[in-house]
Amino acid sequence: MPGKARPGKSKTNSSAKKRIRRTGKGVFVHEKAAHNHLLQQKSKKQKRLSKKTLVLKGYKKAVKKLLPNK
């Protein structure tokens, strides 16, 4: 229709797409930093705690904005 403005498409943020995924229950999960190198000198606890973690509730709205199609 002429004269009517369409809303723009929201694009997915590429860096967020590579780092954050959504589980089957709809929870966002990301991997913590510092788990890929210099592992020999890190403690077991430090290595164990640097695995996957949930996105904090306060950031959920921001993550949804970065990943609109997920």
Residue 10 lies in a domain: no
Residue 24 lies in a domain: yes
Residue 51 lies in a domain: yes
What domain range is 43 assigned to? 15-66
- Minimum mean pLDDT among 1-5, 11-15, 49-53, 62-66: which range? 1-5
Q: What is the pLDDT of residues 13-63, one digit of tens each?
A: 999 999 999 989 888 998 888 778 888 999 999 888 878 788 888 898 999
Residue 48 lies in a domain: yes
pTM of the model: 0.68
Residues 6+ apart with CB under 8 A from 68: 10, 11, 12
Question: How many domains does the chain fold into?
Answer: 1
Identify the pLDDT of residue 1: 57
Residues 6+ apart with CB under 8 A from 1: none
Residue 45, domain CATH: 4.10.410.60
